[in-house]
Amino acid sequence: MPARRSSADQRKGVRERSSVKRPADTPFINREISWIRFHQRILEEAQCTDHPLLERVKFLAICGSNLDEFFMVRVSGLKRQLKKGALETPPDGLTPLEQMEVVNEELLPLLEAHGKLWYEDLLPKLEAAGITIHRVKDLDTGRRQGLRDYFERMIFPALTPLALDFNQPFPFISNLSINLAVSVRHPQRGDRYARVKVPLDLFPRFVPLPGSSPGRKQEFVLLEDLVADNLDLLFPGMKVRYSHMFRITRDADIEITTDEAEDLLTAIEESVETRRIGSPIRLEVGKDMPDKLVDLFATKLGLHQLMVFRSHAPLSMVSFWDLLSLHRPDLKDPPFLPFVPADLMPEKSLMTAVEHRDRLFYHPYDSFVPLVNFLKQAANDPQVLAIKITLYRIDKHSPVIDALMEARENGKAVAAVVELKARFDEENNIVWARALENAGVHVVYGLMDLKVHAKLLLVVRKMGDRIVRYSHMSSGNYNAQTSRIYGDIGYLTADQDIGADVADLFNFLTGYSYKDSYRKLLVAPVTLKDEMIAKIDRETARHLEHGDGYIAFKLNGLLDPDVIQALYRASQAGVRVDLNVRGLCALRPGVKGLSENIRVNSIVGRFLEHARIYYFRNGGEEEVLLGSSDMMPRNLKRRVEVLFPVLDEGYRRMLVDRILPIHLMDNTKSRDMLPNGTYVMRKRGKGEEKVDSQEWLIGNRGYWHGEE
């Protein structure tokens, strides 16, 4: 394997080898390229000085977290395809190797930008704000000795140096751990190598200096720096020549097989365990690690040179989240109080309120508390017979789980569909599934071949001689924590057609029922895709006849080639199409003769844009759909998803006239997508009013309920 030089050399080498088709060569933008462009938008938020300082650090931590998942899932898939062959050619036509080359080429300048941002911008500003992260070697003798005493007393007993012999099988190195490759000189045996794992699972990444107080001025050193400065204690009688950081990312896209397992739960547990020992996908090394050592590691790990990266920033940027726990409100976004409508206060009967009018909740601007109170009231209402819910990602201290257990204690029939295959939440969901089962809840562990991603809650209540069904449907999980940081729309209704649809769908999820049609819901993988394409084609036909077609979508991802082709047909017919796509988008807007009537923008800001809104003008018979599904193959083919109509005219008008337009008009946190798949920050015209959609929604919470 050739030695790896600088990042500039890496980029040059990729360009010389690559004859990769660029996005402009096809009607579709490659998914992995689109992801990297999304990553770049998050990095831009970390670079944006309009954010409070610790919020900028948060965005850099998100960059680190997203990159880890990208390699564990997406790049690992490319590596498997290289080894076993591609299952199918992606719409853009790139081979797995071409995609890996493009990933490498596109990522390298962003990785350099991470380091520059941290060392030249954030670190000095943190110090100026009273948060100093020292290098141990720069400290005076007294403070350095204080740290050494702490190391010897607390950290040293937890460390286990591991000999590295490059002539022997390579020892196992755990996924995403920070490690030190240490070169030592033995008096008789000469130069030797060892590996020391930094115990991030036992000690904080940011170690407070002895004697520092939790006041305005706070001082830290990085744990790996502290370990590196005291390696001599681990290797007595030897000379420590040097040490270098490295980190390995492993394949975490687990394969679930039930051949040898008794049930799905056991299969998931066994599969999750394999994630820890998945094959290596990425090697990150400190920028000063010698080329020879890098090559030895890469060879032993079986890694292609495209998957070896010199890091310009500290490894494991996801740990920067730890700084957000500091009590520095002056360096964070100002808090606000989520809105609670007057008739949904805890002392009110929420079921009575919903019988009079459907309710729409836009979190985090609306409080999650009314939904929890609705569940609690249902749990204690003698007339409530049953509660059914889907659970995808569950918070650690869940008020929703508490309410379900309370309902079961009160004799209600409670059923929970717990999706065990929710990536990286499998173990947490298994714990909750067992807790619910122990409480007497009927737990269904999802489906083998489909992920249950639909967000559904059904309450069945007896009222005299009739049964009333209350249905809550949402784009967001039943998770009180994420409801504070994700932009999600939920809808609570007593409409009996929707209630019957939701009941039918639960019967499919919990039993053997199978329906291929629904009254008002669009359900994947059964009806959703075909109906969405039919609605797009209906708008196209309407426009050809009357010239008034208009489509506007707000969603997280747009990758499905058939849906994209339908939108292209609409554009070619003259239909104006506005798309607010937060993340991945394979559609190329503004291409003459193909998509010149389509605009795409993306908003990355304080809250994660997670809501889905699908609007069709439909000749004045306007249709608005909300729900859990993006327009991606996985959502439409391999998941149970639901889109539902907004029945309440007032909420429908508010979505069409204010909420959807404010996201399309944003000129503060919005980027416009160009035909080649790159994004440019939208600029305000001369005299144009500033529009920040998230700030507008904070300032106008209650507006869509008719209260201000």
Predicted pLDDT at 662: 97
Closest-CA residue to 536 (of 553, 551, 517): 551
- Same-domain pairing of 603 and 460: no
Amino acid letter at 305? Q
Active site residue 304: no
- Same-domain pairing of 353 and 500: yes
Closest-CA residue to 73 (of 202, 237, 228, 250): 250
**Which regions of the chain are under pLDDT 50?**
1-8, 11-21, 23, 258-262
Within-domain flag for 507: yes
- Same-domain pairing of 484 and 557: no
Cα separation values, 522 from 143, 376, 535, 561, Å: 64, 29, 12, 19
Predicted pLDDT at 422: 65
Q: What string of H, E and C letters represents the secondary structure of 662-694?
A: HHHHCCCCEEEECCCCCEEECCCCCCCCCCCHH
Within-domain flag for 504: yes
- Our count of domains for the chain comes to 2
Predicted pLDDT at 421: 73
Given 453, 472, 610, 705, which residue is catalytic?
A: 453
Closest-CA residue to 31 (of 105, 86, 103): 103
Q: Which long-range contacts (CB under 8 A, 24 or more apart) does 505-511 make?
A: 505/454, 505/456, 505/640, 505/642, 506/388, 506/415, 506/417, 506/456, 506/458, 509/390, 509/417, 509/444, 509/447, 509/452, 509/640, 510/388, 510/415, 510/417, 510/442, 510/444
Within-domain flag for 401: yes
Within-domain flag for 325: no
Within-domain flag for 191: no
- Same-domain pairing of 659 and 542: yes
- Same-domain pairing of 478 and 583: no
Residue range 178-234, pLDDT digits in tens = 999 999 998 888 888 999 999 999 999 999 998 766 666 899 999 999 999 999 999
Predicted pLDDT at 264: 63
Closest-CA residue to 488 (of 367, 398, 321): 367
Closest-CA residue to 248 (of 307, 205, 291, 326): 307
Predicted pLDDT at 3: 40
- Same-domain pairing of 479 and 613: no
- Same-domain pairing of 506 and 430: yes
Which of 457, 490, 514 is a domain's end point? 514
CATH number of residue 367's parent domain: 3.30.870.10
- Same-domain pairing of 435 and 455: yes
- Same-domain pairing of 570 and 490: no
Which of 482, 514, 546 is a domain's end point? 514
Beta bridge partners of 280: 250
Within-domain flag for 221: no
Within-domain flag for 137: no
The answer to whether the bond into 364 is cis (omega within 30° of 0) is: yes
- Same-domain pairing of 485 and 561: no
- Same-domain pairing of 555 and 631: yes
Cα of 341 vs its chain's centroid, Å: 30
- Same-domain pairing of 528 and 495: no
Predicted pLDDT at 5: 43
Within-domain flag for 264: no
pTM: predicted TM-score of the whole model, two decimal places: 0.92
Predicted pLDDT at 217: 85
Which of 491, 514, 537 is a domain's end point? 514
Query: DSSP string covering 351-413, please?
Result: HHHHHHS-EEEEETTB-SHHHHHHHHHHHH-TTEEEEEEEESS--TT-HHHHHHHHHHHTT-E
Can you list the alpha helix ranges (DSSP code H) found in 87-140? 96-117, 123-128
Predicted pLDDT at 83: 81
Domain of 496? 342-514
Closest-CA residue to 155 (of 97, 79, 231, 92): 231
